[in-house]
Amino acid sequence: MNTTENILTDIHFFENESVSSLNETGTRLAKAGKMQEAEENYLKAIELDSHYPQSYHNLGILQAAQQRTKESIRNLEKLIELEPGIAKHYCNLGIVYYLEGSFYESELFFSKALEIDKNHPDTLFNLGKLLFNLERTDEAIILIERFLDMDNADTEAMYILSMCFRKINNKENAILYCEKTLDIDPDYREARKMLKELKGPDVKFNIS
């Protein structure tokens, strides 16, 4: 029942429902490949309620997927203003800076994510990958191993770890993680190639 005390709350409820519906429609359109229409829905949602965080998240991720990193960064930074205590937001911003090639900023935001949640899986993986590419291999190994402690079936992480060990001339562990990668995904071509290079061309693969 509406009263003078709760009528404003009721209006806010319907406004948020409309914003939520625009975001849901935008996400369906994005998944269908209709990116322009999806973006229009997110922008309408922001126009309706400029303090609804999900709109900025969805728009920023959509723009990142289109390599529109400058626009994506602006929206993800706005998201962090609205929800500053969520590790995932800092991780996503770190990923976009990585895509842009801004590695200093990327590391900064990954580090902020880990300050909020020291065991945030996506941040451990992505920061480990960044540090490997920056040739800070020992640091990368620590982070990727921590990630694999939580997800021991991620073949990309295993392959990156094998590359790390190869980089520091730890052939035994490089072979170990190549083989673990191929145990899960026998068609992982990069891991097959590296294992041949490490063990020689006569290496035999187990095909299940």
- Judge whether 9 lies within some domain: yes
User: Would you say residue 26 lies in a domain?
Assistant: yes
Task: State which amino acid sits at residue 142.
Answer: I
Q: Which residue has the tokens 């126009």?
A: 47
Dist. CA 31–CA 172, nearest whole Å: 42
Q: Give the span between the Cα atoms of 118 and 191, in whole angstroms.
A: 29
Nearest alpha-carbon partner for 86 in 127, 57, 64: 57
Domain-embedded: residue 135? no
Q: Domain count for the chain, please give it.
A: 1
Query: How far lies 74's CA from each of 16, 45, 68, 176, in Å?
Result: 23, 16, 10, 42
Examine residue 14 and state whether it is found in any structural domain, yes or no: yes
Q: Give the span between the Cα atoms of 99 and 116, in whole angstroms.
A: 23
Residue 67 sits in which domain range? 1-84
Stated pTM of the model:
0.86
pLDDT recorded at residue 142: 98
Q: Residue 149's pLDDT is what?
A: 97
CA dihedral 167, 171, 177, 181 (to 10 degrees): 90
Dist CA 45 CA 25 (whole Å): 11
The answer to whether position 174 is within a domain reads: no
Residue 193 inside a domain? The answer is: no
- Identify whether 134 is part of a domain: no
Q: Residue 168 — φ and ψ, nearest 5°? A: -100, 15
The list of the chain residues with pLDDT below 50 reads: 1-15, 205, 207-208
Residue 89: CB partners within 8 Å, gap ≥ 6? Answer: 57, 76, 79, 80, 83, 113
What pLDDT sits at residue 14? 41
pLDDT at 47: 94
Q: What is the CATH number of the domain that holds 80?
A: 1.25.40.10
Residue 78 lies in a domain: yes
Token representation of residue 185: 């995904």
Q: Return the pLDDT at 16.
A: 52
pLDDT of residue 208: 45
